[in-house]
Structure 1
Amino acid sequence: MHLSDALGDPARAGGASRYALPPDRRIGMSERKADQSGQSTVEFGASALVLVLLLFGLIDLGRVFYFDVGLEGATREGARQASWFEPSTGTNPFLYDTAIKSAVDGILTKSGLPNSVLQNPGATCPATSDGNAAFNPPYSDSTYPATINSPLLYICYANTPGLDLASAPADNSFKGTDVNVVLVMGFGFASGLMEGIFGNSIHIVANTHMTVGGY
């Protein structure tokens, strides 16, 4: 149904609506839409940057936890090997550097880490930053490697710096003494974004004490 124009209203040429906005108002609304679009782009970019940082942060958090568990398991296996007592011979057949390192490296490999770098006989007990006599963390910065994700191995026998066992003792003279297997590593981040916040790496450490067996 077609209704004619109201009385007194001018005829609408070409059927144009009498409610159409003036040209100047249409231009103003277009400019506001463009401004809002630009603001949304900036907000999305800022949000995306935060999300990327969170993503890489979660990735690195998972990696450092995984590597830390691997280091703990490796030191525990090394100390267990060192403390083993063989009743039939009355000796500790694995209480020496190479046997302990082999046990440690076996766990490191399963954790996706390279073999350890043995610091014995040069530095057997790592230098502590608080001076504790049990040679537990925290350790001085010089203890940690400059190369990232490359663990260093210290084997501290009887809490005695400088004491080293290149071969197993022929007797059970070390029974009841402490063996402290220590791994230190500089953990490298997966992204350069995290390096810009925390530096090139962070220090992670694991150590396990066990008593050498015997009777």
Structure 2
Amino acid sequence: MFNNKSFFEYLHENQTKVATGCGKSALISKGKGLAEIFDQMGSLWPLSNSLYVPELTTNLLALSSIAKNQTRIKKTISQYEIHLDNNKEPSFICPISSSILETHINISNFHCLKTQEIEDGSLWHKQLGHMNEQDMNKLIKTTEVSNGCDECIKAGAKHFLIIVDQLSGFIITKFLKNRSDCSNHFRKFRLLVENTHGAKIERIITNGGGEFVNKSFKNHCNE
């Protein structure tokens, strides 16, 4: 039973009476669903048919609902260690303070991300090296968009890399046969620029694509 909706991956709302230990009163469960928690080792534990009881002062977990196989409880001088499903490391560490095992659990935080088409031109603004709105409007009026670059396709280049110097505004475009060629083309560009100007590139800013976030590009940056 949990007193916070944040524990639930999904929740079906309904009202059910829940008997308390004192036997004098009953709490009201306002829903049932799948709760998910992280143990102290970072493992995720799904708990089906969990109750949402907002009036609970403390969340209550039954070991039988968590462990699928064997549960082992080890007592030390000041605490209990609970090992679930034959794990060598304890999933939960509970201080000895009462006849009830108490521990801290972490909420499994899930985020729902929504994608939508950008209609205000901000995407093209970024893709064109942060081109200003006036020049973008000129492109719309004067540029004829075809199905693609025929010469590039004949040469086998289906991708391109745009490199922008944010200080000077200098822009260079490299045509790539494969996205994996990005690291090699950037290496050649870096050597050309640094040998020409006698200065090192201090910072690289990317869009976080897979052609940049990989072992080859990382090794190149560490050289």
What is the TM-score with the length of structure 1 in the denominator? 0.18
Q: Which has the higher strand share?
A: 2
